[in-house]
Structure 1
Amino acid sequence: MKSQLFFPILDIDTICRCIPQRPPMLMVDGLLAYAEEGVTSSFRIKEDNIFVQDGFLQDVGLIEHMAQSVALHTGFGYFLRQEEAPIGYIGSINNLDIHELPSVGEEVNSSVQIIQEFSGVTLVEIETKIQDKVIAKGQMKTVIAK
């Protein structure tokens, strides 16, 4: 009998089984919701984060969080099948709007909606929020390394 999964999943060991990144590059710390068509992740900004400057997560850190959220969707699918999560890359970023940078202590939540998935290439819409306020959104294409 399979064990039942409950969300949110906040166990870092489980998260690390789903994505290839490790500290100090780990930019997701929670899996809030999962479905075939998307995922919602979380990340609490800590002062010692390598992308924090002057008390704020810089845009490159926010983009990395968004990319790792996509990887979390792919990797969790592999986790459910008891397979090792693949390594992937950002193929492209389009229509990215960053309205606000999160500060130390804040938690960001990113919702990833799969637009298209084919042969290891995934196209998604991503929206990142602090509570109910959208701080960033855009499209991203990721590619699984062969």
Structure 2
Amino acid sequence: MEHTLPLLDKAFVGNLIPQKFPFVMVDALFSFSENQVTAGLTVSDDNIFEHETVFQESGLIEHMAQSVALFTGYQFYLKQEPAPTGYIGSIKTITITKLPKKGDTIKTTVNVLHEFMGVTLVDIVSEVNDQEIARGQMKTVLAS
């Protein structure tokens, strides 16, 4: 079955990453290229990081990390290979200027700076309604 972008099928997008419900923090793949991915998440009542209509900081950071995982997962999907499990290796910086609310769609763009031997260094920017709400830099590491 061929898929074209954007991918808005939550179940399909969820299968591209190792996390499973209720810990899936991406539900859309808006764009993909060799060094960039834009992922999305619409904050809903059933999200474990939503509290009193506000998406919590820990959920936003997890969404950012899973956006990186989606980049890797979609790469492996295109090669028709199972995606490996990865981990956050380090977070250099994260700045959160605003927390999303229930019903908001977060769009997160991941720019790959370096990828070497299973370690990926990325810059990440998250937006709601074209307004930046968070940015950061992290390293992810593939499990061996």
**Once the two structures are aligned, what percentage of the paired residues are identical?**
47
Q: Give the alignment partner of residue 99 of structure 1, picking from 97, 100, 108.
A: 97
Distance in 2, matches of 1:108 and 1:115, equals 22
Aligned length: 144
Matched, 1:69 2:67: yes
User: For 1:39-68, what per-residue CA distance to the aligned partner results, in whole angstroms no more than 9, with x for missing partners?
Assistant: 000100001211111210100000000000
Shift of 1:10: 1.2
- Does the 8 A contact of 2:14 with 2:26 survive in 1? no
Q: Give the alignment partner of residue 49 of structure 1, picking from 37, 40, 47.
A: 47
Matched, 1:14 2:38: no
User: What code does the residue aligned with 1:78 have?
Assistant: F
Query: Structure 2-normalised TM-score?
Result: 0.96
Distance in 2, matches of 1:14 and 1:36, equals 20
Large movers: runs of 4+ above 4 Å: none
User: For 1:6-63, what per-residue CA distance to the aligned partner results, in whole angstroms no more than 9, with x for missing partners?
Assistant: 2110122321331001110000000000001110001000012111112101000000
Distance in 1, matches of 2:3 and 2:32, equals 11
Shift of 1:96: 0.8
Unaligned stretches of 5+ residues in structure 2 = none
User: What code does the residue aligned with 2:70 have?
Assistant: L
Shift of 1:4: 5.1
SS of residue matched to 2:15: helix
SS of residue matched to 2:73: helix
User: For 1:67-100, what per-residue CA distance to the aligned partner results, in whole angstroms no more than 9, with x for missing partners?
Assistant: 0000000010000011001100001111210000
1:133 aligns to what? Answer: 131
Two-structure CA RMSD over aligned residues (Å): 1.0
